[in-house]
Structure 1
Amino acid sequence: MRRHTARAAMPLSVLALLAVGGCGGEQAAGGGSRPEGTTQARARAVAEAWHGSRAARAWTKGYHPLDDVVQLPDGAFHTDADKRAYATENFVLDTALPAAPARTGRVKWSHGGSLTLPLTGAREAYDSVARGGNDGPHLTVTDARLGETTLLTSRGPATVPAWLFTIEGYDTPLKRVALGPSRPPAPPIRPAAKAPSDELWPLARLVDVYRDGRSLTVLAQRGACDEGPAVGVLETDDSVVLSASITGHKGGVCTSEMLGVPKTVTLKRPLGDRILLDAFTGRPLTSPSGG
């Protein structure tokens, strides 16, 4: 369900790198290399642009998952065949899918507050995880019902409606969140350039935020002959800006594809409700599944 992206020039608008002053509470985070030179200036520019902006205010009022919106059964998966079936999204439906009992559902944050959003139907939720259809191994869904689950969002932990799909051979269901995310606001800053460079490259996606809130993993990218990616971290009071770069080059014949590499960084303090931003695009990083 998670795919790597290939290296290609991206049709993005030009932005001169801005050398702006530091934001309140700025600090270099542990576990990631500190941005330098124009890369640091870009990270600061992104943080400054979001600080107190209309986009930031809109972001804090929405529902934006930081966890994967698909949660696997306990102990998944028992066999290599089941692992292959899930990886290829190969499911068989052996039950009738129920109609949604309502048109809307509520996000309920653990610290208080809620938001009502359109409820995803069982068919749409099932189709989002069962896009396969080959003759290989498959997982059989024997029941489906609407329930709840918890996940981390940009506003902290929340309880949300979820479709619970019982899978043959597993004691607990596969859960698919039954709400789509809020529409993200237009970022208050343009991308850094028309195309990436080794000094600044967009991150592919957010992979995971650890439960302590201080460690998070992103999918960075590297070429076949690179030494690997580096991810710099710039923390402010209301944002965390990640700057991805590609380090070193090896000699010899190289292919042109980009490879995804998980990189974990550690923050000085928990992410909390601070906005997690990509320095190149100027956009927030959220759940890979998109809700």
Structure 2
Amino acid sequence: MRTRTSRSVRLLAAVTLYAAALGAVSGCGGSPQSVRSGDTETQARRAQQVAAAWDGSAAAGAWRNGFHPMSDVMHAPPGGLRSKADRQAYEDHSFVLEGELPATAPKGGLVAWSDGRTLTRPLTGAAESYRALAGGARVGGRPHLTVTGARLGGMSVATTRGPAVIPAWLFRLKGYAAPLERAAVTASELPRPPVKGALDVPGFPLGRMVRMSADGRSVTVVALHGVCGKGPAVDVLETRGSVVLSASVKAPAEGGHCTKQGKLQEVTVRLGRSLGDRVLLDVHTGRPVFYRPPHGPSPSWS
């Protein structure tokens, strides 16, 4: 399938996100290695191995039966924030509390999908949810949003199993009629992979998933490439139960100066059919390429 590289995310002198995963996978001046002639066959064999290990496995079943958000777990009030200062405060997690928050809450909350399936997940308290919302940052003289209270309600999020309604804390914001919504339930743990990582495979591990199209026919992931290369490329192996992504670097032109730098980019991958409940996997790690909400914690591994 085709891939399309969108905007650069950030240029890093040392790409901390990938340091542990890359290990010995290096190339020009210590930057990610480009895939040469014959290396694509190695990637293809590894992709088949990863797909075979996951398809029909207990790990795949746990993935499909879990709660894995595919959209942000925090929603600004309907209609959006009214000023540039408020929008900046929202992005910076700049909040102050002026009011009381509920001291008690149920221990569990029900995640409900449109097909009737449900799942009970642990419920976070209002105070804990507020601390995650505010991020522990000192506001000082910076623009901020003021929380005056909260109540337990619900919100809709996209998940690997389709749209779901989940419990949410509805935080009242000073100056706004509608509340800010933040998920009150935790995501399921990511299943233990049924296949070990293989970092000797040409290319490099992928980062997180950024977004999925409404029809599930394309996914956008964070990929790494060195300044020596022409950009990242992502090959796709689709099976009935999984989609395996193999990231590599387009070979650079001969000659020229090469520095030890890496660039993170968003790469949009087109699929032959909707991702659905298939597991999106990385060929190098053998693990799911999970979605990390911009205003929520990363899911943990089981």
TM-score above 0.5, yes or no = yes
In structure 2, the partner of 1:17 is none
1:47 counterpart SS class: helix
Count residues in correspondence: 265
Q: Name the structure 1 match of 2:220.
A: 217
**Deviation string for 1:147-187 (max 9, x for gaps)?**
11111222222111011223334443322111111222210
Give unmatched runs, 5+ long, in structure 1. 15-34
Distance 1:141 1:185, change over 3 A: same
What stretches of structure 1 move > 4 A for 4+ residues in a row?
11-14
AA aligned opposite 1:10: A
Task: Determine the C-alpha separation between the residues in 2 that align with 1:179 and 1:68.
Answer: 13
Q: Distance in 2 between matches of 1:220 and 1:169?
A: 40
Alpha carbons 2:21, 2:199 under 8 Å: kept = no
Structure 2 counterpart of 1:6: 16
Task: Say yes or no: does 1:254 pair with 2:259.
Answer: yes
Corresponding residue number in structure 2 for 1:162: 168
* 1:181 partner letter: A
Q: 2:159 aligns with which of 153, 156, 163?
A: 153
Equivalent residue number for residue 103 of structure 2: 99
Contact 2:105-2:125 at 8 Å conserved across structures: no
Query: Within 2, Cα distance between the matches of 1:123 and 1:172?
Result: 20
The Cα shift of 1:86 comes to: 2.6
What is the aligned counterpart of 2:74 among 70, 73, 82? 70
- Counterpart of 1:272 (choices 269, 273, 276) is 276
Provide the rounded CA distance (Å) in 1 between the counterparts of 2:276 and 2:21: 32
Matched, 1:240 2:209: no
Pick from 122, 128, 136 the counterpart of residue 124 of structure 1. 128
Counterpart in the other structure of 1:263:
267
Q: 1:183 to 1:78 in 2, by over 3 A?
A: same
| Alpha-carbon contact 1:146-1:161 (below 8 Å) kept | yes
Structure 2 unaligned spans of 5+: 1-8, 25-38
Q: C-alpha root-mean-square deviation of aligned residues, in Å?
A: 2.6
The AA in structure 2 aligned to 1:192 is A
Q: Structure 2 length as normaliser, TM-score? A: 0.78
1:82 CA drift (Å): 2.7
Determine helix, strand or coil for the equivalent of 2:124.
Answer: coil
Does 2:40 align with 1:36? yes
Residue identity matched to 2:72: D
Identity %: 46
State how far apart, in whole Å, the 1-side matches of 2:23 and 2:260 are. 27
